[in-house]
Amino acid sequence: MIPKLPLDRINWVSSIFLIVTFFTAVIGTPIYVYHFGIDFFQVALFVFYFIATGMSITLGYHRLFAHKAFKAGKTVKLTTLLFGASAFEDSALDWASDHREHHKHVDHEEDDPYSISRGFFWAHMGWIFFKLYPRPLANVADLKKDPLVMWQHKHHQRIGFAVGLVLPTLIGFLYGGWISALGAFLIAGVTRLVCVQHCTFFINSLCHTIGSRPYDSGTSARDSWVMAIPTFGEGYHNYHHSFQHDYRNGVKPWQWDPTKWAIWTLSKLGLVTELRRVPEEKIVLAELREMKMRAEAQIATGGSSKIACPTREKSYATLVELSEQLTDSYLELEKAVSEQIKISGEKLHHWRRVAAEVGDQISHMRTLQPALA
């Protein structure tokens, strides 16, 4: 017996748009390239639109509007609202509302709009098929006071169509006639928007499935340097869920986060202000807390083994010793943070080194477990 589908709950406009654009990109674009080839102009236009629309989502929709990680003037707001609409990920108002609900109820199956607990595909894009309008938008009262945000909310579909599809097609026509216009429409228009959308979707799905959790293992959000590359730094998702109002996602100097660098550059140009960042002491405290929990769990597991093995016993003793140092460091730093005592960079570096040694020892002990089982 075929189950009855909830047809009344399907958003047919969004569903058809997602399906048609996807298959146009994966079928239509290769056919065009096969017949007409691809030149530097088409590649450059795709790259420009991918960066402009992708960064408008990360810098504008996400860090500016959803999290208010910094303040921006009209130039930055208008630019990100225009190109953000061209990603066809809804208005900034709707996007921010969904994202705030996600952070408030992360991993709760009913309240998190794109909860990973409902499955990978649901978190990736399935939820959009059932996203019906009008919606309450009760958690974005601050954004409703912004006339630019409200203007974009009212006209985002027309803006997206004009800036994201018509404009690159027109540029292509001016460059090389109708064939070039068709290529620009398919490559910089449709294929680019599909790529940007799925990069965003992968943060909701893949970055809640695969990766590390150095700051908080109590959430499904994970850090993925791989996903940070195409999403301009959004892949460091465990950090983001631990410190959502920080304008940085890739907090370490070596982590790929072009959005962070762009915001910092804009601040030096006077275009954005009041950049919010978490004090280093709180970040280290979160790292120590997480490593302390892992060490305690590993000690409990290792101590329960009844198999006599000199290597295991030595590793166990080393881990216990390091764990005691880690606990002392954690308690000292916790007290300093609560009392707002300034901590030297050298001290923070020392505590991080202790945590790294504990992590290495945990990994070493885990490699022994299968051999001893």
pLDDT tens-digit readout, 12-69: 999 999 999 999 999 999 999 999 999 999 999 999 999 999 999 999 999 999 999 9
pLDDT over threshold 60, residue 299: yes
Q: For residues 158-175, give the mean pLDDT.
A: 98
Residues 373, 368: Cα–Cα separation, whole Å: 9
Q: Are 289 and 258 in contact (CB under 8 A)?
A: no
Residues 308, 150: Cα–Cα separation, whole Å: 68
Q: For residues 79-83, give the mean pLDDT.
A: 98
Name every residue whose Cβ is closer than 8 Å to that of residue 136 and which is 6 or more positions away in sequence: none
Q: Residue 305: which pLDDT band, with cuts at 50, 70 and 90?
A: low
pLDDT tens-digit series, residues 94-125? 999 999 999 999 999 889 999 999 999 999 99
Residues 121, 75: Cα–Cα separation, whole Å: 36
272: which strand partners? 72
pLDDT tens-digit series, residues 216-225? 999 999 999 9
- pLDDT at position 371 is 43
Which residue would you say has higher pLDDT here, 130 or 369? 130
Three-state secondary-structure class, residue 236: strand
pTM given for the model: 0.90
- pLDDT at position 302 is 64
Give the closest residue to 96 by CA, choosing from 51, 153, 147.
153
pLDDT over threshold 60, residue 373: no
Tell me which of 36-50, 188-202, 300-314, 340-354 is least confident: 300-314
- pLDDT at position 292 is 81
Query: Residue 363 to residues 16, 45, 49, 223, 372: CA-CA distances in angstroms?
Result: 47, 46, 43, 18, 15
**Where are the domains positioned within the chain?**
7-273, 280-372
The average confidence (pLDDT) of the chain is 90
Q: Percent of the chain at pLDDT above 90?
A: 70
Q: Are 355 and 330 in contact (CB under 8 A)?
A: no
Quickly count: other Cβ atoms within 10 Å of residue 219's Cβ.
Answer: 17
Tokens of 139: 């958690």
Q: Percent of the chain at pLDDT above 70?
A: 94
